[in-house]
Structure 1
């Protein structure tokens, strides 16, 4: 008997993702289990609700496993956040009033929308289960726990929203979570090991309906036609870190420029993917100077991966995209360049090492690692 059958013959599963990776995981999970369940989805904590790309694709996706899709904002700050959340609570209450949930699946049990749904749903269904769907780094590195800050946060949320609030030390560790669906369950932090562990099968992400979803996401951001054809023949894709992280990485721009010049002189076909939070298109002017293919920066890397050729090399650094590469495209050769002289970059070494990402100390070494 699988985990769905243990609840009831055809459970009602409500997915509440917020990040791009968690949206993709929810999509793949829902497609795989579509014959065994009914499903709806609520996009939570979205900065943009008027023109949200994920919402548009989910609403217009052929053969969608979701009977209905909703979207909730997460734009307010300060005191306005309380009003926004309480308005969201009313919408969520109506969702589960008409869709009697048996399972609520989230990428973070620290999201107040998830905990609100769980406490409300438990009043209707004592057997209601909470599932944690892998959202990357926190599953394996944990979250820094600050007892004073977290205690104050917990007290405030209990006072404002209700005594049902729990403050888990790391994502997925709260008592609301029964199951943890992970890419690498055996490598998860100990708090998640205490849950009922389930494995996300990478074959789910190559299912035809999931591929259609990914293609539509790419098209909405402009990754189609000639650009897509060019990307499908690249030798190397370089990931540019968050603008704030670049400032913490001494000499980063100069080092990446030298590396790109080397690749250019060797005739390599190179693509560059800026971080989605990049302040402008091609801030380092790499396209004009080195002839690289620019992948749309706002498109999440998870949706770029299926379009890379099997021989492509992925060069990254302090971000988590190399973890996604290892999970979703394990046949690709990914290398993290971490400067040993930088305390900021060194801090990522144990995490990436534990998750078996190849690490080198310079772009010269990356070139040797990739092309030896």
Structure 2
């Protein structure tokens, strides 16, 4: 039986890994949570290890985001040693990643090649760069300075991707919107990712366990007919009129008899910056829950979000939902996002237009 290894650093990577592995039952699957802010009492590690329906034979974890150059290098040396031993033990034929710039992924691919048992490198859609590209990858700093430093520090096996998913390690791309992938990915074999999420009971079970871990109720989430998903509180405070516009939107949704979920950014210090909990029609979803884990549990309704990958993920995880993006002039690559949103059916409006837009287009009898 062939073995497949998933290297996941974000909640979306984990969700994609669960979706793919649970539908490829003829293979043995292993998952390694990399670059985690905490390794002890990590919710994803704990859920995957204690989940009877898990598609993974083994779950590993390694900490990242270490402060200080010496400590960071020592940690990376340890992880390389662990990865090398693990690769030699399980001999994966395919290695999945959500970011082929990750040094752990490239080192794992290098280990397989060095052992003369090369693995196929598989890129799992991470939601943004897959479609709009990563402009920094074309910069002088990335192409020459960072590239050379990494080669000298780690080895000449390091490959600098032309964009995320574009490195020579990658042969296949699992994309939510295969026909819209960035030009630099089109030479790869493109596979539709969305099909792995359709009617996937094990994925929904995993999402249910995850939201409950953070103190939410999957029953409450299943009743929500509108979601407001908000950017980091610093953006709300910095952009003039944003907070008032969102509060007004909440009031309009209330008057139109929506059952509203309010999802704040996971790194907020203020858990309810709009005071949404004072609204009896609103359910403030615990902000530590990754937004992607909520989407498979929602009914089809309205999702209002910022200029970010949040709405890209929402479009393919809830394709029948009505999606509205709030324009943010300060957002990086605003024009690229707006263009891509128009391609996938997400309408972009200004913060000042939200209330009027909802009053005209989205009422419930």
Check conservation: 1:335, 1:366, Cα contact below 8 A.
no
Q: CA deviation at 1:113?
A: 0.2
Q: 1:204 to 1:56 in 2, by over 3 A?
A: same
- Tell whether the 8 Å contact from 1:202 to 1:328 is kept in structure 2 after alignment: no
Report runs of 4+ in structure 1 exceeding 4 Å deviation: none
Aligned to 1:316: 305
Shift of 1:205: 4.8
Aligned ranges 1:20-35 → 2 under 5 Å: 20-34=11-25
Give the deviation of 1:121 after TM superposition: 0.9
The residue correspondences of 1:148-227 to structure 2 (distance < 5 A) are 148-150=140-142, 151-202=144-195, 204-224=197-217
| Residue 81 of structure 1: aligned partner | 72
Q: TM-score, normalised by structure 1?
A: 0.90
Where do 5+ consecutive residues of structure 1 fail to align?
1-9
Scaled by the length of structure 2, what TM-score is found?
Answer: 0.92
The aligned residue for residue 3 of structure 1 is none
- Tell me the SS of whatever aligns to 1:68: strand
Deviation digits for residues 10-47 of structure 1 (CA, Å, limit 9, x no counterpart): 3211110111111101111001002x211111001101
Distance 1:190 1:265 in 2: 45
Q: Indicate conservation of the 8 Å contact 1:237/1:270, yes or no.
A: yes
Stretch of structure 1 that moved more, 177-186 or 277-286: 277-286
Q: What is residue 93 of structure 2 aligned with on the other side?
A: 102
The whole-number CA distance in structure 2 between the counterparts of 1:193 and 1:237 is 34
Alpha-carbon offset, residue 185 of structure 1: 1.2
Q: Deviations over 1:198-247 (max 9, x none)?
A: 111335353222222111111101112xxx33332223111111223324
**Separation in 2 of the partners of 1:62 and 1:82?**
36
Structure 2: gaps of 5 or more residues: none
| Alpha-carbon distance in structure 2 between the residues aligned to 1:89 and 1:219 | 34
Q: Which moved more, 1:327-336 or 1:235-244?
A: 235-244
How many corresponding residue pairs? Answer: 356
Answer yes or no: is 1:304 the counterpart of 2:313.
Answer: no
What are the within-5 Å matches in structure 2 for residues 39-50 of structure 1?
A: 39-50=29-40
Which of 319, 336, 343 is equivalent to 2:325? 336
Task: Please give the alpha-carbon distance, in whole angstroms, between the structure 2 residues aligned to 1:147 and 1:268.
Answer: 46
SS at match of 1:206: coil
Structure 2: how far apart are the matches of 1:170 and 1:245?
27
**Aligned partners of 2:306 and 2:15: how far apart in 1?**
23
1:356 Cα offset (Å): 2.7
Return the offset for 1:305.
1.1
Q: 1:366 to 1:48 in 2, by over 3 A?
A: farther
Change (3 A) 1:149 1:130: same
Query: Is the counterpart of residue 325 in structure 1 residue 317 in structure 2?
Result: no
1:148 positional shift: 2.3
Deviation at 1:248, TM superposition (A): 4.5
**Aligned-pair Cα RMSD in Å:** 1.9
